[in-house]
Amino acid sequence: ETGVTQSPTHLIKTRGQQVTLRCSSQSGHNTVSWYQQALGQGPQFIFQYYREEENGRGNFPPRFSGLQFPNYSSELNVNALELDDSALYLCASSLSSGRTDTQYFGPGTRLTVL
């Protein structure tokens, strides 16, 4: 059972715009991670939040930012959208900081940048 949800399912934006993607973790999961998955590739780690603090970051520029809230919801914000930002964005939650726990993934948000 995953219980992780994401919204919206699909989104179309134009270059230069800003976007906010949302994730609702399983109840009790203190950790959320965000990933970008381009077509035909494996997911690329963007960052992880643990108890509302950023706890690890991949090789993504500062225009990718996030927030985690006490109610187990979180957001991924991307500013100044570029064409290469078109991808499936996945969030995953786990009980602790992710070192030893299984990650449970949501279905993803498909972002298209025109």
Partner 1 sequence: KQEVTQIPAALSVPEGENLVLNCSFTDSAIYNLQWFRQDPGKGLTSLLLIQSSQREQTSGRLNASLDKSSGRSTLYIAASQPGDSATYLCAVTNFNKFYFGSGTKLNVKP
> Is the Cα dihedral 8, 51, 87, 2 positive or negative?
negative
- Scanning 14-22, 55-63, 66-74, 75-83 for contacts with partner 1 by CB under 8 A, the matching segment is 55-63
Question: Closest distance between partner 1 and the C-beta of residue 98, in Å?
Answer: 6
No. of H helices and E strands in the chain?
A: 0, 11
Contact residue for partner 1 among 30, 51, 108, 113 (CB under 8 A) = 108
33 binds partner 1 (CB under 8 A): yes
Contact residue for partner 1 among 3, 45, 65, 86 (CB under 8 A) = 45
CB atoms within 10 A of CB 22: 16
